[in-house]
Chain A
Amino acid sequence: MEEILIKNLVLIDYLKGIYPDFKVKAEFSTNNDEKVIVVQEQPGNQVVFFGDIEPLFNYYEIVIYGLSIQEMKNTATSISSLKGKHIIHEYGKDKEKWQIIFKQYSNPQAIEYMDIRRVGYSMIFQCIVNRVA
């Protein structure tokens, strides 16, 4: 369980670096958030090993919230271009090395939240997030 939480935080930390205009975090707050990218691990079919280690990849639901659907759509397209990339990312005060491999991207769609007057864009990214050193 601990490992899944850290993986989520590593992916958030990496996306923060690429999208400085957005707040990137694990949960959306209705109070004062305008431009936000929310990253949450999702269940799905996985490759599991015979060795007692974590499954190969996870699914991450990435939801972009903002005020303009055009901007959200463009940001979603930009995130989708990470497909096939293999990144080594340093995380935390100990500068731990993590690898992020972006695999397949699916189900991009616009979402509308009438109650909180926001538009959003939702997608699922299949990623390998793994501590390497």
Chain B
Amino acid sequence: MNEFYVTNRDVIKNLAINTGTSAVPVFTNLCTASELTLNQDFSTKDWYVFCDAIQRSIITGVAMSVEGTIKLDINNKAIEKILGDIHTLIASGTISQFNNILARFDLLTKVEGGVLEYTTYQVNTKLTLDSLGGSAEDEGSFDFTMTINGTGEEVSA
């Protein structure tokens, strides 16, 4: 069996958010994501028994999130929407626009005959943002975390 390496660009692809309505979703790719990770934050319950001092542990749950950095491409509808959500927050003080953001991404499944195969997932997320702006000479960017709410659904191509 030969090894088949991949780049991080090959692991998660086509991260997109809904820029349409909830009834008629339109997915726009966040193309200028320069860093992307799919995090699994496992919660565990630990205990010890009386006869030794070695820890026992079980997993009790997991919080999953997509985390990354996006360079501001103001011509991109998805990025424009996220900025728009911040404008709404400032102007009206509402935060509901950050809940239930429908996101889509392709996750690497396997390789078949030298071709990488993916599974597309659609998930409900809550979006949190950080560090919009920074050093004057740097390109505009922000960090984001999309925490996945509940299970996602597989989207057939």
Contact = CB atoms under 8 A, between A and B. Distances in A.
Contacts, number: 30
Most chain A CB within 10 A, of B4, B10, B111, B113, is at: B4
Contacts of A97: 114
Q: In the complex, which range does the number of interface residues on chain A fall in?
A: 10 to 19
A132 B2 contact: yes
Interface in B1-56: 2-7, 9-10
A131 interface: yes
Interface string B107-139: 000010111000000000000000000000000
B114 A88 contact: yes
Interface string B96-111: 0000000000000001
Contacts of B3: 53, 130, 132
B100 to A, nearest CB: 33
Interface residues of B, number: 12
A contact patch SS: strand
| Secondary structure of the B contact surface, majority rule | loop
A18 interface: no
Contacts of B6: 86
Contacts of B10: 86
Contact of B7 (A53, A86, A131): A86
B9 A84 contact: yes
A76 interface: no
A56 B5 CA distance: 9
A84 B34 CA distance: 12
B144 to A, nearest CB: 22
A101 B7 contact: yes
Contacts of B7: 84, 86, 101
21 contacts: A53-B3, A56-B5, A84-B7, A84-B9, A86-B6, A86-B7, A99-B4, A99-B5, A99-B114, A101-B7, A130-B2, A130-B3, A130-B4, A130-B5, A132-B2, A132-B3, A132-B4, A132-B111, A132-B114, A133-B2, A133-B114
Q: What 10 pairs between A and B have smallest CB-CB spacing? A: A97-B114, A132-B4, A88-B114, A132-B2, A86-B7, A128-B5, A133-B114, A131-B2, A101-B7, A132-B114
Interface of B: 2-7, 9-10, 111, 113-115
Interface of A: 53, 56, 84, 86, 88, 97, 99, 101, 128, 130-133
Given A99-B114, A132-B3, 7 more contacts: A53-B3, A84-B7, A88-B114, A97-B114, A99-B5, A132-B111, A133-B113
